[in-house]
Structure 1
Amino acid sequence: MEDMMPLMTRSSELTSDLVRGVREEQLGLSTPCAKFDVRDLINHLEWVAEMFVSLAAKGPRTEQGPYAGDFPERAGRTLAAWSRPEAWEGTSPAMGMPMPMVAHLYLADLVVHGWDLARATGQAYEPMPEAVVESLAFTEQMVDMGRELGAFGPPVEVPDDAPAFDRLLGLIGRDPAWKP
């Protein structure tokens, strides 16, 4: 918990800042995540935040609701839920994995979708290097399951000596050179 909370907190802040920077006319723009335009991507982030509040309490996966435009508030509730030590104990009944692994899912989602949102809307984005390293190591372990579940696309080839963030993006099916 001690090493993950600062990463989750800062990644939530960065992604919240990006969401706040989206203008109404940008909501229909394409993103590097082919199944989402900007509005759908923010809605996905809202759902993820709500779901991870439930997961922190060992609750069920939640259904995605309609776009609400309140991701920063939801992310705050997620961080509050995960700040409780018991959130990190045991296994998630809904996900079937240890709670620290569940927290890594949230972190990776924020890191990658923050990039998606920044690229789509022309905003600057610099994820924490430690968050990238954690997300890459976790994703390398989970990539096969992620592809089976449709969460990751086919890999995009990047050089072996590419920066860790480019390797993370390529691993989950994003082209690090994507432009709108």
Structure 2
Amino acid sequence: MSDTQLTARAATPLLEIIRNIKPDQLDAPTPCAEYDVRRLLNHLLFWGPSLEGAARKETVPPPAESDSAVDLTGGDWAADVETQLNRIVDAWSKPRAWAGTTHMGGPTELPAALVGGMVLSELVVHGWDLAKATGQHLVVADDVAGEVHKEVTKTATLGREMGAYGPEVPVPASSSTVDRVLGLTGRDPAWTP
């Protein structure tokens, strides 16, 4: 399975979760302490163009200094998130997206494969966040989960230094691959609202 196919397969469960979020769930807490459901959807919309641009080797700065400075969830937020995720999948479905270097909204040049791995991780981890917050269950294919685990293992320390991940949550080695990913990102797989 190539990275280009994994992106679409990582996005599919997230899209299903988003389609099933009810408007009265937008204020529900998520496993990301700083985000409720609305703010997490806003986060996906905020960073989506930058992640899409990274695949095309275009620097697309986010619309503000932080995702808390804008609210992009007005109107038909579900359709907007779905459209943005489909654009990300389309952009990362091209083999050239994974080659060479790129930028993720800022001036720092990064290996494109590293950014692509971060995109896979975002799709799966935030899919889980939204699923847990809204009483749904995220189903991730084994090969997708394995690839995300490999990527998060490589970037966990950097993610914690950047504040993207919390302190590692110990998870038994016998746990599912997704649960081990969650622990690496600072999430408790047993989290409940």
Query: Does the pair score TM above 0.5?
Result: yes
Structure 1 residues not aligned, in runs of 5+: none
Paired position in structure 2 for 1:36? 35
Counterpart among 114, 118, 123 of residue 127 in structure 2: 114
Paired position in structure 2 for 1:49? 48
- Output the CA distance in 2 between the equivalents of 1:137 and 1:85: 19
> Are positions 1:151 and 2:156 aligned together?
no
Letter in 2 for 1:72: E
**Count of equivalent residues:** 179
Counterpart among 68, 85, 92 of residue 102 in structure 2: 92
User: 1:18 deviation in Å?
Assistant: 0.8
User: 1:88 deviation in Å?
Assistant: 2.3
User: 1:89 deviation in Å?
Assistant: 2.2
Deviating runs (4+, > 6 A) in structure 1?
none
- Output the CA distance in 2 between the equivalents of 1:67 and 1:148: 27
Query: 8 Å contact 1:156–1:174 — kept in the other structure?
Result: yes
- Output the CA distance in 2 between the equivalents of 1:89 and 1:18: 30
Letter in 2 for 1:56: A
1:61-93: per-residue Cα shift (whole Å, max 9, x none)? Answer: 521553231111011111222233332221114
> Are positions 1:67 and 2:72 aligned together?
yes
- Output the CA distance in 2 between the equivalents of 1:161 and 1:17: 28
Q: 1:142 to 1:61 in 2, by over 3 A?
A: farther
CA RMSD, 1 decimal: 1.6
TM-score (norm 2): 0.86
Query: 8 Å contact 1:46–1:71 — kept in the other structure?
Result: yes
Counterpart among 127, 130, 139 of residue 152 in structure 2: 139
Query: 8 Å contact 1:30–1:36 — kept in the other structure?
Result: yes
1:11-34: per-residue Cα shift (whole Å, max 9, x none)? Answer: 212111111111111000000111
1:102-158: per-residue Cα shift (whole Å, max 9, x none)? Answer: 111000011011000000000121111111111111111111110110000011111
Counterpart among 134, 142, 163 of residue 176 in structure 2: 163
User: 1:173 deviation in Å?
Assistant: 0.5
Paired position in structure 1 for 2:92? 82
> Are positions 1:7 and 2:11 aligned together?
no
> Are positions 1:25 and 2:24 aligned together?
yes
Structure 2 residues not aligned, in runs of 5+: none
Q: 1:157 to 1:52 in 2, by over 3 A?
A: same
Q: Tell me, what secondary structure is at the counterpart of 1:97?
A: strand
Letter in 1 for 2:25: Q
> Are positions 1:125 and 2:125 aligned together?
no
